[in-house]
Amino acid sequence: MPYIGARIKRIEDPKFITGSARYVDDISVPGTLHMAILRSTVPHARLLRVDYEDALKIPGVVGVITGGLNIKVENRPRNFPMARDEILYVGQPIAAVVAEDRYKAYDALDYIQVDYEPLPAVVDPERALTDDVKAVEGGMSNIGYRRTYRAGDPEAELSRSDVVIETKLEIGRVYPAAMEPRGLLAVYQEGRLTVYASTQAPHYMRKFLLDAFRDYVSDVRVIQADTGGAFGSKMFPYPEDYIVTYASIIYRRPVKWVATRREDLLSTYHSRAQIHKIRAGFTRSGEWRALIDELIIDLGAATHGYYLADITATLISGPYKVRDILVEVYGVRTNKTPLDQYRGGAGRPEAASCMRG
């Protein structure tokens, strides 16, 4: 057992401390086009018109992609990677410029005109739960997820408790601020696609891209570039993954997109965002006997991320021997950046916060 008690050198460090690591933005492929994305500045609106004719006149601009791209994706209220007829959150992609260099692509964004009709925005998760103002048009309920967790008879045990504590705990949204923003380089060649990505899950990325583009390509290869932080936030499908890939396929050239810090903050899935309305029963000696919790998780403009509330609900009693528990979980849609997991056990810190509260 030569490794027990021995000083083992890390083999992954030298390239990072010598500056020779290769992140997505360090990878260069001849003929690469660059993408810039025009994002919504309003939380909820009916999208009426996207006029990009002036942007196409700028030298070096190859094309503009809007919500009419012919692919669908999962876990979104409108199932498209770009706003097509309705804007659902600030930061949602509306149009993407593809140009010979990054500066021309970003300059061209200023020449795109967007007409929209503002709609009421749902930003309060508790208001979303009442369902009186819709976060998505067309009659879709704000309640995107519902589940009950029950053990024992918490109502009866609560009524018998010597001391009952009622409290409301709000756990705010957080942004997973990795040092390296998200990025992607898609290379289409002879019916096949190679994708260099700042991702934690290359095999999963291959699956969801192949599912979306199987009518366009025969195979997808995903190469995980050196990744400058992720914390769980680079595991899932993002709109930009589909948009960049689509651009490479239709223009038959490599296409690269790397988020600015501002757009990474707006568009990388946020996390936490839970409200707990708790009633807890105790004996006079301090023994915890019952817990009833109404748990509201703010999913933003998506239906993924609800499992984080499930994790919280099943761990909310922690190491304590309380046997009578009821947790009612509500996942609500709001006009905010979509929600998903972020480090620290994903759902477990929220449970620990409730125990401390």
What would the two tokens of residue 175 be?
């942004």
User: pLDDT of 89-145, one tens digit each?
Assistant: 999 999 999 999 999 999 999 999 999 999 999 999 999 999 999 999 988 999 999
Q: Which residues of 61-99 are buried (b: 16+ CB within 10 A; e: fewer)?
A: bbebbbbebebebeebbbebbbbbebbbbbbbbbbbbbb
User: pLDDT of 30-81, one tens digit each?
Assistant: 999 999 999 999 999 999 999 999 999 999 999 999 997 767 676 667 678 9
User: pLDDT of 245-290, one tens digit each?
Assistant: 999 999 999 999 999 999 999 999 999 999 999 999 999 999 999 9
Q: Three-state SS for 32?
A: coil
CATH 3.40.640.10 fits 29-118+177-267, yes or no: no
Residue 345 predicted with pLDDT over 70: yes
User: pLDDT of 143-198, one tens digit each?
Assistant: 999 999 999 999 999 999 999 999 999 999 999 999 999 999 999 999 999 999 99
Three-class DSSP labels, 36-105: EEEECCCCCEEEEEEECHHHHCCCCEEEEEECCCCCCCCCCCCCCCCCCCEECCCCCEEEEEEECCHHHH
Q: Which residues contact 40 (CB under 8 A, 6 or more apart)?
A: 83, 87, 89, 90, 91, 92, 93, 94
CB atoms closer than 10 angstroms to residue 201: 17
Domain boundaries along the sequence of the chain:
29-118+177-267, 125-175+269-356
Beta bridge partners of 257: 184
CB 281 within 8 A of CB 164: yes
pTM (global) more than 0.75: yes
Closest alpha carbon to 87 in 64, 63, 66, 65: 66
Calculate ∠ Cα 122-308-230, nearest 5°: 95
Per this entry, what is the length of the chain?
A: 357
CA diameter of the chain: 77
Q: Residue 343: its pLDDT value, please?
A: 83
Q: Residue 96 CA to chain centroid, in angstroms? A: 19
CATH architecture of 125-175+269-356: 2-Layer Sandwich (3.30)
Helix axes 239-251, 202-213, angle to 10 degrees: 60
Residue 147's identity, in one-letter code, is R
